[in-house]
Structure 1
Amino acid sequence: MEINHLNSLRLGFSTKQASIIKSKGVAKYIGKQLSATNKLSEPNFISSSPKSLKELQALRQKVVKEGGDKKDITKQLAKLNFDWKAFVIKRCNETEYPLREKINLFFQNHFVVTSKSVKVPFWIYKHYETINNNSLGNYKVLVKEMVYSNAMIKYLDNQQNKKGNINENLGRELLELFTLGEGHYTESDIKNTAHALAGLSFGKEKGVYRRFLKDNSTKTVFGKSGNYSIDDVIDIIFEQKNTPYFLSKKALKWFFYDNPPEDKIVKYGDVLKENDFELKPFFNTMFIDECKNLNGGNQIKNPLIYFLQVHNDLNIVPNYKLMAFILKNQSMDIYNQPNVKGWKGGKDWLTSQIYADRNQFIDFVIDRRKNYEKQLNKQLKKIKGGNVNFTPEININKDDSAKVILNELTDRMIFKTNKEMWSELNEILKYDFDPHAENVEKSVLRVYQYLAKRPEFQVI
C-alpha cells in the first residue's frame, strides 16, 4: 500500500486524507490536526431531551398522567440513542480533523459508558464533550474529569456508593481499566479508593460530593494515608510506575498494532511520563514515529474504518443511521460497548461472521442485490432512517491501461499483493482492456469488489 494511503488510515477513518498528507508531509499534517480547535456544538435532539434522571422520570410520569404509555418514552430514548450514534459517525467522516475524532473515540473506548445504561442522552453528550475538550490536554486532568462525569457515575453505580455502604465499581475500574491495569494495585487499594469516592453523585453539569454521604475516614492507598477525596487518590495513582505505560499500550493498539511491541510501549510511555502526562507531545511523538513505518499489516481494521473507507472509495453518500445499524451488527455499537472493558479489537473485529457480512455488503453495493436491500430498508424503517440509495463510482482515470488501473487500486487498498492475486486481477481486467467500451465503470468496480473481499483489505 502506498504510504500516504496507509497513514491516512492510521490517522483517520479512510484514505481520503492521503493527498493532503502527501502534499503537506505527514509531520505537518499531524501538527495541524493536533493544534486545531475541534469544535463541538450540542445537537438539537440533545438540547430538547431530559437533562437528568429526575427530568426523565418526570417526563414518564407526565406521559402516564396524560393517558400515554411509558413505553413511548423508551422508544423515544432508543431513537435519540440512534441519532447520537449517527451524529458521532458523521463527525468521524465529515470532520476536517479525523485524527482528533479518532483520539476522541479512543478515549470513549478507554473510559467506557453506554447510552443503554446511562439512560440520559444529555449525560452521554457531556461525556463526549469532556473527552473532546481534554483529549489533548493533561491525562491526569482527563481522568479526574471522567471520574466526575455524571455518565460515568451512573454507568458504574457510584451514586450507590455511600459512607457505610461502599460500592467498589468505579474505584476498581479507575485502577484496573483507566490508569494502572491488572496486577499493579491491591484489593486494599481498591477498597480505599472506593471509600474516597463515597458520596460522589450526580450534579447539574458533572458529579458532586454529597456532604452527609462522604466518607471522611483515613484512607491508605499505595502506602500513603490521609482523609483523601478522589482527586487526592488520582494524584497518588499518577505517581505509580505503570500509569504511563498502561496508556501507551492501549494507544498503540488503537492506532497501530493489534499486538504492540514492548519496546514501543516503553518508548512512548517514557514520553508521556517525561512530559508530566501532557497528551499532545505524547500523541505527536507516537504518530510521527510510527507513520515512518512503511509496512502495513499490523492491525485488523475496525468496522468503522472498514465501512467509511468503502463509502469514500466508492463515493457513496453515507446514511449515518444505516451505518450505525451496520456497525452494531459488526460488534462496534457506538457508545454501547459490550462491557466496561470496551471493544477488544484485534481478532474480534474479524470473526467469520463479520467477514461474511462485510463481503455481503460489498456484493450488495456492486451488484445491488434486492433481497439484501429489502432487509436494510426494513431496518431503516424501524429507526426512521430513510432508504438505501447506493450508486458506487470510483475516482480513477478510466483511460489508463489495465496495468495502471490495477496498480493504482492495489496501492490504495491492499497492504501486500502476491502472484495468485495478480493472476486473478488480470482475469478481471484483462491486458487488452478497452477504456472506451460499454460498462467500463462496471469492470473497474469488479476489481474493487475483488480487492475489498480479500483478507488483505481487512488489515491496515
Structure 2
Amino acid sequence: MHLSTLNALRLGFSTKAADTIQSLGLENYITQQLQAKVPINEPDFIAKSPKSLAALRDLKQSTEKSGEEVEKITKTLIKTHFEWKAYLVQRFDTTEVPLREKINLFFQNHFVVTSQSVKVPFWIYQHYETIVKYSLSNYKTLVKEMVYTNAMIKYLDNHQNRKGKTNENLARELLELFTLGEGNYSENDIKNIALSLTGLTFGEKKGMYRPFLKDNSVKTVFGKSGNFDIDEVIDIIFEQPHTPYFLAEKVLKWFFYDDPPDSLITKYGDILKKNHFELSPFFYTLFKEECQNPKGGNQIKNPLIFFMQIHHDLQLQPNYKLLAFLLKNQAMDLYDQPNVKGWKGGKDWLTAQIYADRNQFVDFIIDDNERFRKMLNKRLEKFEVGTISWQPNLHLKTSKNAKTILEELAERMVFETNETMQTELNQLLKYDFDPHAQNAKQSILRVYQYLAKSPEFQII
C-alpha cells in the first residue's frame, strides 16, 4: 500500500490525488491545497429562486390561491434544493483542491442548517458561500459569520427570539455544538446568551439586529456582565478553556479517527490555542503530522468517499443527481442532516442496511442489474436524472499476469489482504490467467467487485 493512496482518501474524497501527493511530496501538497483560492459562484438555478422568505411568500400569494400553482412552486423548490445537492457532489468530484472542499464540508456538518427547514435555496447557498470564504480564517471570525447567516437564524428559530419572548435554540447550539460541548456551560449562560441574541433576525445579505426587538438589559455570561451583543458574547466564549479542544476533537474525527486519542485532542487543541484560533496553521500541522502515519483502519469511510473512490477506480462517468440520491439513501443527505448535531459518522456509516446497499451498488456497477436500474429510474424520474448507465473500466498500471494484477488491486484497497482473502483472490484470478483473453476485463472486474464488497474496503 502506498501512503500517498491512503493520504488521498484522508485529505480528499477518493484516491484521485494519490499520484499528485506522491510527486509533490506530502508537505508541498498540503501547502498548495491550503493556499489555493477556492472561488464559488452562484449557480443559475439558485439565482432564479426566491431570495428570502418574504419573496417566497409573495410568490405563493401571486398565484391567486390556486392549489395547483402553489403545489407547482413547492415542487420547483424541492427540485432546486436537490439540484444544489447535485451541484455540491459535482464540486467535490471535480475540484482541484479536494482538501479545501473536505474542510468546507466538515464545517457544513459542524454548523448544520437544512434545506427542509430553511426553505430558501439562496440562503442555503449563502451559508456555504460563507464557509468557503472563512473556513481557513480565524475560527472565532467563522463562528461570528455563521451566527449571522440567514440560514442559521431561520434553522434555529432566532427570528422568533425577541425582547419579552426569548427563544434559546441558537444560544444553546452555539455553546453545545459550535464552541464548547456539553458540560462546559450552565443553563444561566444559555439564558443570558439568548437575551444577547434577541432582535437578531433576517437581513438582505446576512442577519441584522432590529433595535425595537432587542433586550438591552445587563447580561452575565461566564462571570462577565454587560449589555452584550452576540459578537461580544462569542469573544467571551473563546476565552473559555475547553473551546480549542472541542474543535480539535471534531476535526480529528472527520479526517482521521472515529475515536481519537485524548493525547491527540490535547496536542492539536493546544496548537489551535497557541495560534489564537487561526485555522490555517492548525490544519497544516494536523495534516502534516497525522498523514505521516502509514497505518490505516482508524475510520469508516463516509458514503461520499465510498462512492467517489469507486467512481475513480472504475473510471465511471458520474451522474451527480443520482449520486446525491444515493448519498441520501446512505444517510449522508447533503444539507439535510438528520438533526442539528449533524452526521455522527463512525459506526453510523456502516449499519447492516447501509453495508448491504453498498454491496448492491457494487454489484449493479459490475453486473448491470436491469431491475435495480428500473427501480432507480422510477424513483428519480421527477428530478430529471437522465439515463442511468455505467461502463466500468479498470485501468491497471501493469497487467502482465495474475500476480501483478492482484498485487495492484489489493494495494488500491488501502488495506492488507489476509490469508483467507488471498486464497479467494487466487481462485478468482488463477495463476495461469491470460490478461489478453476475450473475457479478461470482466474477470478483473470480478476481483475488484470482491474487494470492494469486503469489510476492509469500508475503512480508511
Aligned to 1:323: 323
d(CA) in 1 for partners of 2:213, 2:123: 23
d(CA) in 2 for partners of 1:362, 1:328: 17
- Any residues of structure 2 matched to 1:129-278 within 5 Å, and which? 129-278=129-278
Aligned to 1:38: 38
Aligned to 1:128: 128
d(CA) in 1 for partners of 2:124, 2:341: 18
d(CA) in 1 for partners of 2:371, 2:146: 45
Look up the equivalent residue of 2:194 and give its one-letter code. A
- Any residues of structure 2 matched to 1:71-110 within 5 Å, and which? 71-110=71-110
d(CA) in 2 for partners of 1:75, 1:67: 12
Look up the equivalent residue of 2:51 and give its one-letter code. K
Offset at residue 66 of structure 1 (A): 6.9
- Any residues of structure 2 matched to 1:343-422 within 5 Å, and which? 343-397=343-397, 399-422=399-422
**Does the aligned pair in 1 maintain the 2:5–2:414 contact within 8 Å?**
no
Offset at residue 387 of structure 1 (A): 1.5
Look up the equivalent residue of 1:26 and give its one-letter code. L
d(CA) in 1 for partners of 2:316, 2:113: 31
Offset at residue 63 of structure 1 (A): 2.2
- Listed as ranges, the gaps of 5+ residues in structure 1 are none
SS of residue matched to 2:42: coil
Deviations 1:49-89, CA, capped at 9 Å, x for gaps: 10000000011111235784211111011100110000111
Offset at residue 376 of structure 1 (A): 1.2
Aligned to 2:426: 426
Offset at residue 399 of structure 1 (A): 3.7
Aligned to 1:302: 302
d(CA) in 1 for partners of 2:355, 2:65: 49
d(CA) in 2 for partners of 1:72, 1:173: 35
Look up the equivalent residue of 1:438 and give its one-letter code. Q
Offset at residue 439 of structure 1 (A): 1.1
**Does the aligned pair in 1 maintain the 2:399–2:405 contact within 8 Å?**
no
Aligned to 2:28: 28
d(CA) in 2 for partners of 1:415, 1:426: 17
Look up the equivalent residue of 2:175 and give its one-letter code. L
Look up the equivalent residue of 1:134 and give its one-letter code. Y
d(CA) in 1 for partners of 2:241, 2:67: 59
**Does the aligned pair in 2 maintain the 1:104–1:131 contact within 8 Å?**
yes
SS of residue matched to 1:63: coil
**Does the aligned pair in 2 maintain the 1:60–1:73 contact within 8 Å?**
yes
Deviations 1:374-416, CA, capped at 9 Å, x for gaps: 1111122121111201000011146421111111111111422
Deviations 1:164-197, CA, capped at 9 Å, x for gaps: 1000000000000000000000000000000000
**Does the aligned pair in 1 maintain the 2:398–2:404 contact within 8 Å?**
no
**Does the aligned pair in 2 maintain the 1:380–1:387 contact within 8 Å?**
no
d(CA) in 1 for partners of 2:363, 2:252: 33
Offset at residue 152 of structure 1 (A): 0.1
Look up the equivalent residue of 1:230 and give its one-letter code. I
SS of residue matched to 1:220: strand
Moved over 2 A (4+): 63-69
SS of residue matched to 2:380: helix
Deviations 1:278-309, CA, capped at 9 Å, x for gaps: 00000000001000000000000000000011
Identity of aligned residues (%): 65
d(CA) in 1 for partners of 2:351, 2:106: 22
d(CA) in 2 for partners of 1:416, 1:153: 48
TM-score (norm 2): 0.99
Aligned to 1:339: 339
d(CA) in 1 for partners of 2:7, 2:68: 53
d(CA) in 1 for partners of 2:437, 2:53: 63
Look up the equivalent residue of 2:395 and give its one-letter code. N
Look up the equivalent residue of 2:358 and give its one-letter code. R
**Does the aligned pair in 2 maintain the 1:398–1:440 contact within 8 Å?**
no
Do the aligned partners of residues 425 and 67 (structure 1) sit closer, same or farther apart at CA in structure 2, a change above 3 Å counting?
closer
Is 1:112 equivalent to 2:92 in the alignment? Answer: no
Do the aligned partners of residues 459 and 67 (structure 1) sit closer, same or farther apart at CA in structure 2, a change above 3 Å counting?
closer
**Does the aligned pair in 1 maintain the 2:6–2:414 contact within 8 Å?**
no
SS of residue matched to 1:136: coil
Deviations 1:146-166, CA, capped at 9 Å, x for gaps: 000100000000000000100
Comparing 62-71 and 112-121, the one that deviates more: 62-71
Deviations 1:250-277, CA, capped at 9 Å, x for gaps: 0000000000110100111111110110
**Does the aligned pair in 2 maintain the 1:428–1:446 contact within 8 Å?**
yes
d(CA) in 1 for partners of 2:73, 2:298: 45
SS of residue matched to 1:447: helix
**Does the aligned pair in 2 maintain the 1:330–1:354 contact within 8 Å?**
yes
SS of residue matched to 1:225: strand
d(CA) in 1 for partners of 2:215, 2:97: 43
Deviations 1:282-341, CA, capped at 9 Å, x for gaps: 000000100000000000000000001111110101101001111101000000000000
TM-score (norm 1): 0.99
d(CA) in 2 for partners of 1:381, 1:119: 22
SS of residue matched to 2:431: coil
**Does the aligned pair in 2 maintain the 1:166–1:195 contact within 8 Å?**
yes
**Does the aligned pair in 1 maintain the 2:161–2:199 contact within 8 Å?**
yes
SS of residue matched to 1:364: helix
d(CA) in 1 for partners of 2:137, 2:32: 16
d(CA) in 2 for partners of 1:69, 1:442: 51
d(CA) in 1 for partners of 2:376, 2:230: 47
SS of residue matched to 1:212: helix
RMSD: 0.9
